[in-house]
Amino acid sequence: MSFDHTRSVVFTLLISVISIGVADDTSSPNWTQFRGHEASGVAEGWTLPRSWNVEDGTNVLWRTKIPGMGHACPVVSDAAVYILTADSRERSQDLKVGLYGDIAPAKEDFPFTWTLYCLFAGDGRVCWKRDLHTGVPLIKRHTKASHANSTPATDGNHVVVQLGSEGLYCLNRCGDLLWRKDFGVLDSGYFQVKQAQWGFASSPIIWRGRVYVQCDVQDDSFIACLDVRTGDEYWRISRDDVPTWSTPTIHSFGKRNLLVANGFKHAAGYDALTGDEVWSMGEGGDIPVPTPIVAHNRIYLSSAHGGTAPLTAVQPSAQGRLNRPAEAGDDEMLSWHHAREATYMQTPIVYRGLLYACRDSGVLTVFDAVTGEKKYRQRLGSGTGFTASPVAGDGKLYFTSEQGDVYVLAAGPEYRLLAKNTMGETCMATPALSRGRLLVRGRDTVFCLRETAP
């Protein structure tokens, strides 16, 4: 028996002993997909750090170096933290951050190895790692992206990893491969300039023993639903849309289990069990990135680019084809709508009755989540980009800039900055929250931050 296998067995026994279970609400100690439960970005019931110092270690529980580069966010299940990376091993990967409009992809014609790491949540040590694929990427990446953009998803027993054109993988919590699914080449580049390849970024989600993947690509876009145990398809539906980088969201409105997908021409709600379309809506931004979120019995959709930026709250009872008006009030299926207030890269967050929408430039606009009334607008930082989506809990919101500055805001209808903390690394991935710990993934390091008693 190898040392790595022995370590996996010991780790499995450990998490079986201390397991609290994967709960489906914002008080869960787990953070099992992109932005946690239903992509809400919220974790309540725990004291979270206000400030920290990476240099002297204040409120830094642990830090772990991860080879290669990945913008996939950390996910947490019991004692396990899962991190995905793509490593060229012998070649460096350039990362161009900031506010710019260059659409050319990175020039890389050498092989990468995609690896899933499992870290122990208590101290950050590597419990196991599994190489999933090695080869020259079939699709180039954007200069601000990585070859490992999609965040893994877990239900505690399975870990599903989307590598885009390199396949969909399912492992058990020991890191053993259970199945692999090949969807062919998935090119999610800019539809108006197809040679500008940008890689793939939509993340899988797991719901009631099913895996859902949104694959909006240059040709033949689709959403697929698979059995998490076997990888067999329950259904696959075609989508009339251009490439997106958005992850779908599932929410149950009474007996209606709705899978919501963002889109340019085809934002839509589907029956999560059958794939049947319930409603659809167009007129969005032409490069949809933000994930749909649900709060206050409303579905919030944000997309920007191409001259439009609609931020829309959809009623859960919506049916048929919806029309985004110039402003709110023209469609009874919409709770409210702003034609020019959406975010491009970041997924907005609804926290304690307010919706926070931060643009790439760091301009934050806050709305009443129920009525859509604007509360305030404030620039967080200048001369830097903001790509990572915000997370919130304990009355605090965390906004992470690409330069690695984390702005901690007090929740409320007025702007109040509590702290600005510097990570010392470029930060592109959305943080995770678990048991009062803030997990921040930098360019080279995963940091675990926790409030400690004075």
368 HSE (CA, 13 A, CB side): 8
**Cα–Cα dist 106/197, whole Å:** 9
Distance CA(248)–CA(203), nearest Å, equals: 8
CB environment 228-262: b (16+ within 10 A), e (fewer): beebeeeeebebebbbbbbbbbbbeeeeebbbbbb
Q: In what order do the strands lie in the sheet with 437-441?
A: 60-65, 445-450, 437-441, 432-434
Tokens of 441: 């993934």
Residue 195 backbone dihedrals phi, psi, to 5 degrees: -75, -10
As a whole number of Å, the end-to-end CA separation of the chain is 45
CA nearest 123: which of 56, 49, 60? Answer: 60
Rg value, the chain, Cα? 20
Under DSSP, the state recorded for 105 is B
Distance CA 429, CA 436 (A): 19
Query: Whole-prediction pTM value?
Result: 0.94
DSSP-derived secondary structure for 56-77: TTBTEEEEEE-SSB--PPPEEE
Nearest to 390 by CA among 418, 361, 351: 351
Q: Which residue's entry shows tokens 């829309």?
A: 312
What's residue 382's pLDDT? 83
Q: Which of 244, 256, 176 is nearest to 213 (CA)?
A: 244
- Which residues in the chain come in under a pLDDT of 50? 1-3, 5-6, 9-10, 13, 15-24
The whole-number pLDDT of residue 326 equals: 58
- Cα→Cα distances 175→87, 124, 291, 342, Å: 18, 17, 28, 39
Tell me, what's the pLDDT at 18?
43
DSSP designation for 45: S
> Residues with Cβ < 8 Å from 101, sequence gap 6 or more?
none
Structure tokens given for 436: 């009062």
Residue 34, SS3 per DSSP: coil
Rounded Cα–Cα distance for residues 2 and 418 (Å): 49
pLDDT for 454: 59
Domain ranges for the chain: 3-450
Residue 28, pLDDT score: 79
Q: Are 118 and 127 in contact (CB under 8 A)?
A: yes
Note the pLDDT tens digit of each residue in 106-157: 999 999 999 999 999 999 999 999 999 999 999 999 999 999 999 999 999 9
For residue 278, the surrounding DSSP H or E stretch is strand 277-281
DSSP 417-452: EEEEEE-SS---SPPEEETTEEEEE-SSEEEEEE--
Cβ(206)–Cβ(161) below 8 Å: no
Which residues have a Cβ under 8 Å from the Cβ of 3 and sit 6 or more positions away? none
CATH architecture type of domain 3-450: 7 Propeller (2.130)
From residue 244, give the alpha-carbon distance in Å to each of 190, 198, 200, 406.
Answer: 9, 10, 9, 27
Q: What is the three-class DSSP state of 226?
A: strand
CB atoms within 10 A of CB 108: 16
DSSP state of 220: S
